[in-house]
């Protein structure tokens, strides 16, 4: 292992303590809807300025990885992603909790997060410089196709209700265009409201569309929020380990997906977990279980989003280009500390880098006992708290969370309005996920398309730019596979059925 | 009766003046909120973070840095004049942003509404190509652009931004036509540069410092070469009259008393002259400027003329 001698530096009592505190703080912040990993890191950056660089990096990395994991709690227990990375965790996590398997889902999320986090960190440790090249292979056109690939997930998510899913997706795309266009600077759909100039914030859309309908339904129905399992608030660790072992291929694949997507600047945990979920669902033997609380879904999304932590550090440290939004904050902190990122960081200042990477690995491992403990506590409190307390408490958090994104009350208004609209749409059979997919992926697809078009025009052929670049062609292949796979498998089964009856 | 009222008013006035004078003698006597109009991690944040320890050093007081991003900074600047006008709320401002935004559309503030008290640095425009690029000098690049107009592409951060303006200004000065491809933020623009998705990039000296050997700086828009990037010539040396970039400064609410404005301006000025601070800023690629309250009207006039002229040429000016 490279730089193994620095493992000792990472194991000093101070660094260990920082890792413990960082993971705990991150997990709790991440669990609160609206308080994202980026925010957790940004808030705690000033406290790291007095520390030696490696320790500062360890605590920031620990907070980051903790927050990404913590986002799963509210996704599973409240159907509200605590961070954008946990969107896809709601797909299977919440149905699991509904039927009384919330404790199992949380333990699975913990195992998957630790596994994914370790895979990402090990790639960072061993292969960072060559892997950073991947980040550079992805141009605007590749991002465009990647976003389109993400959008095909709408088809998978709205099985049996394709039209409503597509309408929702389009609504999300339109929402994402509100405000001043990133590319071109045009002002769109603001209805002359200044508060809309900045556009709809993804996180406030997320809180509104997912959380508010849940809250309204909680008040509107007399049933308890979640069913209790047989034994109250167990870890169900053995069961979770068995499931994880059975799904090892899924775990490994999802962690790879997470690492690679993490390396791509501008993609991040939300896209990683969506792609991992889509692949897990496509290749699953029991596809019909998906959407009804399939543990494999939770394993896929949670391992993928935590793998983006290590993956995201790769371009951040090697190229000085932040891989994910929290990495941008950490990069800023590094500049203030006087650390030059870049290829030389792994040579000249390798002591800092390797101490940090081992620290990140240790923090990820610490997430196992601490995550289980905090998770159990979170589950117990959400399940046992009476609704009369739970609803106002969560309602309060949604307001605080959406305000905290940009310290702006406009985001709170957007959140509430979208929440009410989301509730009405839910009643009409439109689920929030296609809308949110549109909001998140719309800007990536649009920017990629316009940039690709500009570059293609300058190079002489827009067509060649979009369709004949190797990575583009591979992604297009995945899109076609994702779109036609259900159809092809049906045809194959019919063919086989016909053949066997002959 | 009238007399007593007058007396009371006078006494109160005197008292008030005294309080203000005392308050200012000890400014600052509590934590100052320093609001950044962008998210964490960008140039505005990094420079505020670099200032932070010097606030403490010179005053014994802390600053609390807050982020209020949105609409390219306009979300904060449109609310600036509603903030407490006591010198304990200061806001980071940027040129050309605060000149261009109100020209383009109604963003809730006008350039003249912002009471800037100090401009403390700028990030000079720089033109960069990947380290392996066949274009070794600006001359090579201009020659290639002349040969095939429109085929040379530049990445940059944002539309109608400082990077975009620099590209437009240079195209005009050099008599060439290049394609500007806007990206969301410096990070994305750098990715396109290093990935060779584009021929080159319009960025700042800070970007060159961050990318180091991975990129080659062809020219910087400074009067003299940057001390930390001595190999990169200025546009002036190469015969193009291009000096500028993104200026960063501090503003306070318009209704802030003049003596408080001066106290804030003096404090930022004092930090800006600290050798240790200058070394840190220049080490990150920033270039120092000192525009204090006294020089403010003249400087703002100059900037407004320059960027309004450019905005008209680029068709940005719509109001």
**Is pLDDT at B54 greater than 50 in this prediction?**
yes
Check if the beta carbon of residue B151 is closer than 8 Å to that of residue B198.
no
pLDDT tens-digit map of A55-83: 999 999 999 999 999 999 999 999 989 88
Q: Which domain holds residue B176?
A: 123-220
Is there a contact between B195 and A407 if contact means CB atoms under 8 Å apart? no
**Which of the residues B33, B40, B72 would you substitute to probe the A interface, choosing the one with the greatest number of A C-beta atoms within 10 Å?**
B40
The pLDDT, as a whole number, for residue A310 is: 95
CATH code for position B197:
3.40.190.10
Select from B202, B220, B238 the last residue of a domain: B220
* B286 lies in some domain: yes
**pLDDT (mean) for A331-349:** 81
CB contacts under 8 A, A 61-100 vs B, are none
**Is pLDDT at A440 greater than 80 in this prediction?**
yes
**Is pLDDT at A253 greater than 50 in this prediction?**
yes
The pLDDT, as a whole number, for residue A158 is: 78
Helical (H) or strand (E) element with B290? strand B287-291
Please spell the DSSP secondary structure of B143-156, one letter per residue. HHHHHSTT--EEEE
Query: pTM value?
Result: 0.89
- How many structural domains is chain B composed of? 2
Task: Give A102-120 as a 3 state SS string.
Answer: HHHHHHHHHHHHHHHHHHH
Is there a contact between B214 and A343 if contact means CB atoms under 8 Å apart? yes
User: Which residues have C-beta within 8 Å of that of residue A381, sequence separation ≥ 6?
Assistant: none
**Which of the residues B159, B179, B195 would you substitute to probe the A interface, choosing the one with the greatest number of A C-beta atoms within 10 Å?**
B195
Number of C-beta neighbours around residue B317 at 10 A? 15
User: Pairing state of beta strands B179-183 and B215-220?
Assistant: unpaired
Residues B191 and B275 grouped into a single domain: no
Cα–Cα distance, B256 to B27 (Å, whole number): 14
CATH code for position B80:
3.40.190.150
The pLDDT, as a whole number, for residue A231 is: 54
The pLDDT, as a whole number, for residue A190 is: 87
Residue A187, phi then psi, degrees to nearest 5:
-100, 125
Residues B97 and B146 grouped into a single domain: no
Mean residue pLDDT of chain B comes to 91
Residues B142 and B161 grouped into a single domain: yes
* B8 lies in some domain: no
**pLDDT (mean) for A225-239:** 72
pLDDT tens-digit map of A174-200: 999 998 887 777 889 988 887 888 889
Tell how far CA A392 is from the center of its chain: 26
* B128 lies in some domain: yes
**pLDDT (mean) for B38-59:** 91
Residues B106 and B36 grouped into a single domain: yes
**pLDDT (mean) for B174-179:** 96
| Placement of tokens 């991002």 in the chain | A143
Residues B129 and B185 grouped into a single domain: yes
Residues B41 and B117 grouped into a single domain: yes
Residues B132 and B214 grouped into a single domain: yes
**pLDDT (mean) for A322-341:** 86
Helical (H) or strand (E) element with B65? strand B63-67
Cα–Cα distance, B301 to A224 (Å, whole number): 65
The pLDDT, as a whole number, for residue A369 is: 95
* B194 lies in some domain: yes
Q: Mean pLDDT lowest for which of A255-269, B222-236, B250-264? A: A255-269
CA angle B193, B196, B197 (to 5 degrees): 90
Q: Report which listed range, A61-65, A374-378, A428-432, B36-40, is most confident.
A: A61-65
Domain residue spans in chain A?
4-227+236-501
Cα–Cα distance, B317 to A408 (Å, whole number): 28
Contacts of B50 in chain A (CB under 8 A): 336
Residues B139 and B59 grouped into a single domain: no
Cα–Cα distance, A313 to A353 (Å, whole number): 10
In the structure, what pLDDT confidence band is assigned to residue A347 with cuts at 50, 70 and 90? confident
Contacts of B179 in chain A (CB under 8 A): 454-455, 457-458
Cα separation of the two ends of chain B: 54
Residues B116 and B254 grouped into a single domain: yes
Is there a contact between A332 and B213 if contact means CB atoms under 8 Å apart? no
Residues B127 and B117 grouped into a single domain: no
- Counting residues of chain A whose pLDDT is more than 70, the rounded percentage is 97
Cβ–Cβ contact A146 with B under 8 A = no
The pLDDT, as a whole number, for residue A364 is: 96
Contacts of A460 in chain B (CB under 8 A): 151
What torsion, rounded to 10 degrees, do the Cα atoms A142, B204, A407, A80 define?
20
| A41 SS3 class | helix
**pLDDT (mean) for B143-153:** 96
Please give the residue that has the higher pLDDT: either A414 or B319.
Answer: A414
Please spell the DSSP secondary structure of A418-485, one letter per residue. HHHHHHHHHHTT--HHHHHHHHHHHHHHHHHHHHHHHHHHHHT-HHHHHHSSHHHHHHHHHHHHHHHH
For residue B74, give the nearest of A197, A335, A341 by CB distance: A197
The pLDDT, as a whole number, for residue A108 is: 96
In the structure, what pLDDT confidence band is assigned to residue B12 with cuts at 50, 70 and 90? low
Number of C-beta neighbours around residue A364 at 10 A? 30
Is there a contact between A322 and B213 if contact means CB atoms under 8 Å apart? no
pLDDT tens-digit map of A7-23: 888 889 999 999 999 99
User: Pairing state of beta strands B89-95 and B32-36?
Assistant: parallel
Residues B128 and B112 grouped into a single domain: no
A10/chain B closest Cα distance in angstroms: 25
Is there a contact between A407 and B67 if contact means CB atoms under 8 Å apart? yes
In the structure, what pLDDT confidence band is assigned to residue B25 with cuts at 50, 70 and 90? low
Helical (H) or strand (E) element with B232? none
| B246 SS3 class | strand
B35/chain A closest Cα distance in angstroms: 10
The pLDDT, as a whole number, for residue A351 is: 86
The pLDDT, as a whole number, for residue A230 is: 54
Q: Mean pLDDT lowest for which of A76-90, A212-226, B47-61? A: A212-226
Cβ–Cβ contact A459 with B under 8 A = yes
* B11 lies in some domain: no
| Placement of tokens 């550079």 in the chain | A136
* B13 lies in some domain: no
Check if the beta carbon of residue A258 is closer than 8 Å to that of residue A308.
yes
In the structure, what pLDDT confidence band is assigned to residue B1 with cuts at 50, 70 and 90? very low
Please give the residue that has the higher pLDDT: either A211 or A49.
Answer: A211
Mean residue pLDDT of chain A comes to 89
Nearest CA in chain A to B72: A198
For B27, the token pair is 């400014």
The pLDDT, as a whole number, for residue B203 is: 96
| B91 SS3 class | strand
* B70 lies in some domain: yes
pLDDT tens-digit map of A380-414: 888 888 888 999 999 998 999 899 888 889 999 99
Cβ–Cβ contact A373 with B under 8 A = no
Report DSSP state, residue B129.
E
């Amino acid at each position: 292992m490279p730089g193994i001698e620095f493992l000792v530096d990472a194991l000093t009592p101070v660094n260990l303590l920082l890792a413990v505190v960082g993971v705990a703080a991150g997990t709790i912040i991440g669990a609160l809807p609206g308080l994202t990993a980026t925010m957790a890191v940004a808030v705690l950056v000033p406290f790291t300025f007095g520390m030696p660089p490696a320790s500062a990096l360890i605590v920031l990395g620990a907070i980051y990885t903790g927050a990404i994991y913590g986002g799963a709690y509210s996704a599973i227990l409240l159907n509200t992603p605590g961070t954008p990375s946990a969107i896809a965790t709601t797909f299977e996590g919440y149905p699991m909790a509904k039927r009384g398997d919330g404790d199992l889902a949380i333990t699975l999320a913990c195992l998957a997060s630790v596994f994914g986090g370790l895979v990402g960190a090990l790639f960072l440790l061993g292969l960072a410089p060559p892997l950073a090249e991947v980040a550079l292979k992805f141009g605007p056109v590749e991002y465009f196709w990647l976003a389109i690939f993400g959008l095909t997930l709408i088809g998978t998510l709205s099985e049996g209700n394709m039209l409503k899913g597509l309408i929702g997706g389009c609504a999300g795309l339109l929402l994402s265009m509100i405000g001043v266009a990133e590319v071109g600077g045009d002002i769109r759909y603001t209805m002359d409201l200044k508060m809309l100039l900045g556009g709809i914030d993804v996180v406030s859309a997320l809180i509104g569309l997912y959380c508010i309908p849940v809250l309204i339904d909680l008040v509107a129905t007399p049933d308890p929020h979640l069913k209790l399992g047989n034994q109250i608030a167990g870890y169900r660790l053995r069961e979770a380990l068995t499931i994880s072992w059975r799904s090892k291929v899924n775990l490994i694949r999802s962690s790879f997906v997470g690492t690679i997507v993490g390396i791509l600047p501008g993609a991040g945990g939300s896209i990683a977990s969506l792609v991992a979920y889509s692949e897990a669902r496509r290749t699953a033997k029991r596809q019909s279980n998906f959407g009804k609380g399939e543990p494999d879904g939770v394993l896929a999304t949670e391992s993928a989003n935590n793998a983006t932590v290590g993956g995201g550090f790769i371009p951040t440290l090697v190229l000085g280009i932040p891989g994910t939004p929290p990495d941008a904050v950490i990069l800023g902190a590094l500049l203030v500390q006087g650390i030059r990122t870049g290829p030389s960081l792994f040579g000249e200042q390798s002591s800092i880098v390797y101490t940090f990477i081992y620290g990140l690995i240790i923090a990820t491992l610490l997430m196992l006992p601490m995550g289980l403990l905090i998770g159990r506590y979170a589950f117990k409190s959400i399940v046992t708290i009476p609704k009369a307390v739970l609803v106002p408490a969560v309602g309060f958090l949604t307001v605080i969370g959406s305000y905290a994104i940009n310290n702006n009350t406009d985001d709170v208004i957007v959140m509430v309005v979208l929440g009410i609209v989301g509730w009405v749409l839910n009643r009409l059979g439109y689920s929030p996920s296609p809308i949110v997919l549109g909001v998140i992926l719309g800007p990536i697809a649009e920017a990629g398309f316009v940039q690709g078009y500009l570059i293609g025009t300058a190079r002489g052929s827009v067509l060649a730019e979009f369709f004949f670049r190797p990575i583009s062609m591979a992604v297009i292949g995945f899109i076609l596979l994702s779109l036609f796979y259900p159809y092809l498998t049906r045809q194959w089964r019919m063919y086989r059925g016909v053949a066997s009856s002959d | 009766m009238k007399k007593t009222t007058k007396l009371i008013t006078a006494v109160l006035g005197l008292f008030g003046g005294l309080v203000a004078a005392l308050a200012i003698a000890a400014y600052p006597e509590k934590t100052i909120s320093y609001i950044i109009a962008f998210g964490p991690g960008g140039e505005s944040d990094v420079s505020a973070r670099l200032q932070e320890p010097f606030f403490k050093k010179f005053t014994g007081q802390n600053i609390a840095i807050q982020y209020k991003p949105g609409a390219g900074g306009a979300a904060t600047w449109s609310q600036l004049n509603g903030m407490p006008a006591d010198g304990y709320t200061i806001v980071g401002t940027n040129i050309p942003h605060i000149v261009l935004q109100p020209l383009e559309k109604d963003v809730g503030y006008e350039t003249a509404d912002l009471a800037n008290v100090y401009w403390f640095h700028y990030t000079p425009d720089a033109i960069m190509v990947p380290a392996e690029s066949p274009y070794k000098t600006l001359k090579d690049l201009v020659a290639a652009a002349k040969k095939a107009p429109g085929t040379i592409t530049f990445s940059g951060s944002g539309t109608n931004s400082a990077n975009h303006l620099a590209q437009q200004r240079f195209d005009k000065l050099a008599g060439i036509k290049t394609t500007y491809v806007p990206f969301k933020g410096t990070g994305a623009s750098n990715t396109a540069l290093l990935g060779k998705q584009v021929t080159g990039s319009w960025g700042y000296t800070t970007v060159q410092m961050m990318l180091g050997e991975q990129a080659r700086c062809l020219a910087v828009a400074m009067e003299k070469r940057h001390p930390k990037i001595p190999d990169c010539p200025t546009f002036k040396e190469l015969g193009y009259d291009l000096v500028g970039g993104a200026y960063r400064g501090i503003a306070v609410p318009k209704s802030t008393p003049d003596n408080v404005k001066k106290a804030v301006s003096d404090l930022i000025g004092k930090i800006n002259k600290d050798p240790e601070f200058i070394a840190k800023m220049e080490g990150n690629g920033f270039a120092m400027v000192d525009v204090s309250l006294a020089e403010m009207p003249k400087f703002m006039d100059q900037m407004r003329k320059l960027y309004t002229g450019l905005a008209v040429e680029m068709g940005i000016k719509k109001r």
